[in-house]
Amino acid sequence: MNIFTKLFLALSFLILGCSPFGNEDKSIFLAQGLMTGEPTESSIILQSRLTATDTIVNGDIPGITGMGRFELSESENFTPAVFSDWLTADPTKDYILKYKFPDLKPGTKYYYRLHYGADDKATSKSHICSFTTNYGAGKVAESSFTIVTGMNYYFFHYGRYDISTAYSGKDKSEGYPALKSILDQNPDFFIGTGDNVYFDHPSERGYDNAVKKGKSPHPGTNDRKEVIDERGMRRKYHEQFSQPRFVKLFSEVPTFWEKDDHDYRKNDADPYIDFPISHELGIKNFTEQLPVVDPIKGGKTYRAHRINKDLQLWFVEGRDYRDANSKEDGPEKTLWGKEQLSWLKSTLMESDATFKILISPTPMVGPDDAYKKDNHVNTRGFNYEGEAFFDWIIENGFLEKNFYIICGDRHWQYHAKHPKGIEEFSCGALVENNSRAGRLAGYPKSTDPDGKIIQYYIQGKKEEASAGFLTVKNKTGDVPELHFLFFNEHGNLLYSTVKYAKF
């Protein structure tokens, strides 16, 4: 907190008699703000974390025990209002408070805040946040949402093991510039497709390689090795989501989340590799730190959400059920698992949504690097299952049912079409230092050496690679439309295309 901010807070307290942010108890803070997850037409999950400081101290933001309850209303002055139960912030839950509100109205804007304190006798109020519920299948409506991946905190703040490459803008303390650009668009919701944090960066290997190349890593790099325990996993989320631009964005925009390799265990991880973070801990941490499953009942991390009459989204789980990456590819090898695949097919068949979008943490069309064996694109990975699913899509007429794929994971933006006709949009990395040039169709070291994939748009050259995100808008009319728009981190449009509904 700089001196100007401290002066502003002091003057506000003298003039108003209270903190401008509603926090009168200086022993408890909300350094990570408040956020919402899994919005439906009738429910929402609210989340916050009680902290002992309002900023990072010694590389972390310590939590603090206490109590809190969420207040919810259709009115900004909270008249009338409903309350959650009193919730306890304790170490076993990383001091996180979560509550799922049921019985909400479709397509309605709600306001919420947190009452919190050491106990339920004397509490403070958080700042006021908001969200809007989905319309659901019964309402023709328009919507817009933003999709991201590759939020590498270390690369942004410290560089790619080379201090000279760290972000150096005057707004660095605010966090990623792309977050401001996203908020400026006022999307209805935000989707993190995975790699939301990076447990394996920084790493001792990265530090050593930088030194060998004559680079000058950040002085603290060698002390900040890859995460090996639950405390370190939690710390990654604390530093990530305490950045002011995240706090601001999530106070106004609800979220959906998936996990991928870096925020599960490590790069290209499956359940069977030898790594200090266990498979079970990788699963637990994801549902602890983010508002994804019901905090009381739990639930699957693969699920479908009906946004409105024209739009339905499917979120798939790519880490929990997969076979070993090293297993020989074929009909007995699976990335999704039999139960999830059966669910995906049955729910697609049941859907009457005009547009159907599969949100995948990893690519299914690509192309990708040929050496990899981690995803459905990789010929040494899970390509058989991916191609079999595409055959099923075609056999059941989904090319005429407005079916599209959006993927994360890849560090470049692209719009590509598989030889079988399925189109995929890759959102690209949110952080500049985490972006790279993509693999071109026809490149010998790609998964498409024969150049059969059509690439309508790709950041295929080094100078084209940039931080950014994908925004999708569904628009109503006699013929409903689906707009895909790629932006760089400054909100400049790089590429767009429109898909018209087929009936």
What pLDDT does 135 receive?
98
Q: Is 40 helix (H, G, I), strand (E, B) or coil?
A: coil
- pLDDT per position as a tens digit, 379-404: 999 999 999 999 999 999 999 999 99
Amino acid at 412: W
Same CATH fold, 143-500 and 21-132? no
Homologous superfamily (CATH) for 21-132: Purple acid phosphatase-like, N-terminal (2.60.40.380)
Average pLDDT, the chain: 94
Q: What share of the chain is helix, strand, coil (3-state, %, to 5)?
A: 25, 25, 50
What pLDDT does 220 receive?
66
- pLDDT per position as a tens digit, 142-163: 999 999 999 999 999 999 998 8
d(CA 375, CA 176): 28
pLDDT band at 431 (very low <50, low <70, confident <90, very high): very high
State pTM to two decimals. 0.94
d(CA 347, CA 176): 36
Calculate mean pLDDT across residues 108-130.
97
Q: N- to C-terminal Cα distance for the chain? A: 55
pLDDT at residue 72 is higher than 70 = yes
Q: Is 466 left (phi over 0), alpha (psi -120 to 50) or beta?
A: beta
The answer to whether 130 and 78 have CB atoms below 8 angstroms apart is no
d(CA 411, CA 431): 9
Q: Is 22 helix (H, G, I), strand (E, B) or coil?
A: coil
pLDDT at residue 486 is higher than 90 = yes
Residue 420 makes CB contacts below 8 A (sequence gap 6+) with: 387, 390, 391, 393, 394
Which residue shows structure tokens 């409105």?
308
User: What H or E segment, with its residue span, contains residue 282?
Assistant: helix 279-289
- pLDDT per position as a tens digit, 75-86: 999 999 999 999
Which residue shows structure tokens 């599209």?
404
Structural domain boundaries in the chain: 21-132, 143-500
Beta strands in 42-142 (DSSP E): 44-49, 66-73, 82-83, 87-89, 96-101, 109-117, 124-125, 129-132
Which fold does the domain 143-500 belong to in CATH?
A: Purple Acid Phosphatase; chain A, domain 2 (3.60.21)
DSSP characters over 299-361: --S-EEEEEETTEEEEE--SSSS---TTSPPSTT--SS-HHHHHHHHHHHHH---SEEEEEES
pLDDT band at 221 (very low <50, low <70, confident <90, very high): low
pLDDT band at 215 (very low <50, low <70, confident <90, very high): confident
Q: Which of 496, 410, 428 is nearest to 467 (CA)?
A: 428
- Phi then psi for 107, rounded to 5 degrees? 55, 40
Higher local confidence (pLDDT), 206 or 127: 127
